[in-house]
Amino acid sequence: MRKLVTVLGATGIVGSKALEIVRKNQEKFHVIGISGHSNISLLVRFALEFAPKYVVVSNLLLRSELEQKLNNVDVEILCGEEGLAFLASQKTDILIAAITGFAGFEPIFRAINSGTDIALANKEALVAGGHLLMPLAKKKGVNIIPVDSEHNAIFQCMMGQNWSDVDNITLTASGGPFLSMNSNETQKIPPSEALKHPTWSMGAKISIDSATMMNKGLETIEAAWLFNIGKEKISAVIHPQSIVHGIVQFKDKSIISHMAPTDMKVPISQAMAWPERVKIEIKEIDFLEVESFNFLEIDASKFPCFELAYQLIEEDPCYSVALNAANEIAVHLYLDHKLEFGDIYTLVAKTIDMIEMTNLDDYQSIIDYDRYARNIAISMKF
Ligand code: NDP
Ligand code: MG
């Protein structure tokens, strides 16, 4: 039986790779719905190729363009946040959550509610709403399979293992493009430099997060929610070769780690096909070509965003909603040349200092609080 698949954020790097896996494994997967936000030409191409039942453009302004281009095609076209929520609510076998940022939170909430398993790339949704999404997934019997490479690595290391036997886990980080530079050198560095990731090809937002290492901070919060473990069991190290993606140490001091080529098709396909695997064709690791394996400490003075996020594990969820919201604003301003690289941290830290706490125990309160924190971040002057 083919798995029915929905791909949210189909036009992005992760979404496109998920569709490439479908393309090569048509006997295993069938696409029911796809979404995109601004890239209409790619969305149309995918709609024609995969003939899904539903196509969603979340940007309302592009509705008529999509309708025009799919005029004679037998497909249901939906738009805006409502369209996205509708698509996410359609029960399928697996939903690839590959929207970037908090925009992916509501669709994931809907999908879990409808009982669909999630292959989760969209870490921001879990950073902001993990305290709601994970218990809901448990209640609904929904599997959340990590796509983020480090978390997928830990997931794979834990196959056949018990969490009660685990001493700690380690996430690896490439170190981003500025590993050998100090904060004075990076303070005014332009987006064109920050977007050049040394080992991974990724969307703009996560590329900037990797340069500040906020990405690794967000990932420690993501790990805490995904694996239901405390801060004392989670750490991160820089591993510039990006070959080892995650490491688990057990109470008998055995260590199981996961290695794979630096290509997101590995974790995406594993999450999509789980509990099976599919064949993918990418360049294999040749160990004779690997000169060395290095593991370095993350320098908190150089990468304060990492430390800021890491400190928020197990703290009140208001902090991580605000962290994520302010970071999205800061990255956006930086990409628009309206904020300096070095001020991304300052904007996020100041926002967190200014928030007032409230209860975030339901879905709407998280949405409202994200907006509240964004407004604080936007009002900040530099
Ligand atoms: P991209 O920027 O390449 O893709 C983002 C996707 O989200 C696109 O389909 C985009 O549509 C859509 N989108 C953007 N804004 C909105 C919005 N407001 N509402 C609905 N949809 C929107 O990002 P990536 O694929 O690189 O990353 C996606 C997610 O996966 C992120 O959360 C990231 O952290 C995570 N991730 C990515 C990895 C990678 O290697 N790329 C690795 C691990 C995690 P359009 O392009 O049409 O505008
Ligand atoms: Mg990652």
Instruction: Give the HSE-up count for residue 342: Cα atoms under 13 Å, Cβ half-sphere.
Output: 11
| Residue linked to tokens 């099976």 | 276
Model confidence at 198, in pLDDT bands (50, 70, 90)? confident
41 lines ligand 1 (CB under 6 A): no
Which range is least confidently modeled, 55-64, 178-187, 204-213? Answer: 178-187
Residue 199 pLDDT: 82
Least distant ligand from the CA of 10: 1
Residue 381 pLDDT: 78
Q: Which residue has the higher pLDDT, 198 or 101?
A: 101
Average pLDDT for 64-71: 97
- Per-residue burial over 147-173, b = 16 or more CB atoms within 10 Å of its CB, e = otherwise: bbbbbbbbbbbbeeeeeeebeebbbbb
Residue 201 pLDDT: 82
Which amino acid residue places its CA nearest to atom 19 of ligand 1?
103
Q: Taken in order 109, 273, 30, 283, is the CA torsion positive or negative?
A: positive
pLDDT, one tens digit per residue, over 214-271 is: 999 999 999 999 999 999 999 999 999 999 999 999 999 999 999 999 999 999 999 9
- 198 touches 181 (CB < 8 A): no
Average pLDDT for 201-226: 96
Atom number of ligand 1 nearest to Cα 99: 7
d(CA 299, CA 327): 20
DSSP single-letter state for residue 12? S
Residue 229 pLDDT: 98
How many Cβ atoms from other residues are within 10 Å of residue 363's Cβ?
17
- 166 touches 233 (CB < 8 A): yes
Which one-letter amino acid corresponds to residue 63? R
Give distance in angstroms: CA of 71 to centre of ligand 2: 39
DSSP bridge pairs for 247: 170, 257
Model confidence at 200, in pLDDT bands (50, 70, 90)? confident
Which amino acid residue places its CA nearest to atom 17 of ligand 1?
103
Residue 183 pLDDT: 87
Residue 197 pLDDT: 82
> Is the pLDDT at 40 greater than 90, yes or no?
yes
- 298 touches 236 (CB < 8 A): yes
Which one-letter amino acid corresponds to residue 182? N
Report helix, strand or coil for 163.
Answer: helix
Chain centroid to Cα 228, Å, comes to 18
pLDDT, one tens digit per residue, over 141-180 is: 999 999 999 999 999 999 999 999 999 999 999 999 999 9
DSSP single-letter state for residue 300? T
Give distance in angstroms: CA of 173 to centre of ligand 2: 8
Atom number of ligand 1 nearest to Cα 9: 9
Concatenated DSSP letters of 222-259 = HHHHHHT--GGGEEEEE-TT--EEEEEEETTS-EEEEE
Model confidence at 282, in pLDDT bands (50, 70, 90)? very high
| Average pLDDT value over all residues in the chain | 97
d(CA 381, CA 378): 8
Residue 211 pLDDT: 96
Residue among 60, 100, 126, 265 to mutate when testing ligand 1 (max atoms within 8 A of CB):
100
Average pLDDT for 67-84: 96
Average pLDDT for 333-355: 97
Q: What's the whole-model pTM score?
A: 0.98
Report helix, strand or coil for 172.
Answer: strand
Give distance in angstroms: CA of 100 to centre of ligand 1: 4
> Is the pLDDT at 317 greater than 80, yes or no?
yes
Model confidence at 22, in pLDDT bands (50, 70, 90)? very high
146 lines ligand 1 (CB under 6 A): no
Average pLDDT for 178-200: 91
Strand-pair category, 54-57 with 76-79: parallel
d(CA 152, CA 277): 13
* Nearest C-alpha neighbor of 143 from the set 274, 9, 6, 1: 274
From residue 130, alpha-carbon distances to 207, 258, 318, 371 in Å are 23, 25, 12, 17
Model confidence at 375, in pLDDT bands (50, 70, 90)? very high
Which amino acid residue places its CA nearest to atom 30 of ligand 1?
121
Continuous H helices in the chain: 13-24, 40-50, 63-69, 80-89, 105-113, 123-140, 149-157, 183-186, 191-194, 204-212, 214-227, 265-273, 304-310, 317-335, 343-354, 363-379
Atom number of ligand 1 nearest to Cα 15: 25
* Nearest C-alpha neighbor of 221 from the set 306, 327, 109, 99: 306
d(CA 85, CA 334): 30
Average pLDDT for 61-82: 96
pLDDT, one tens digit per residue, over 241-251 is: 999 999 999 99
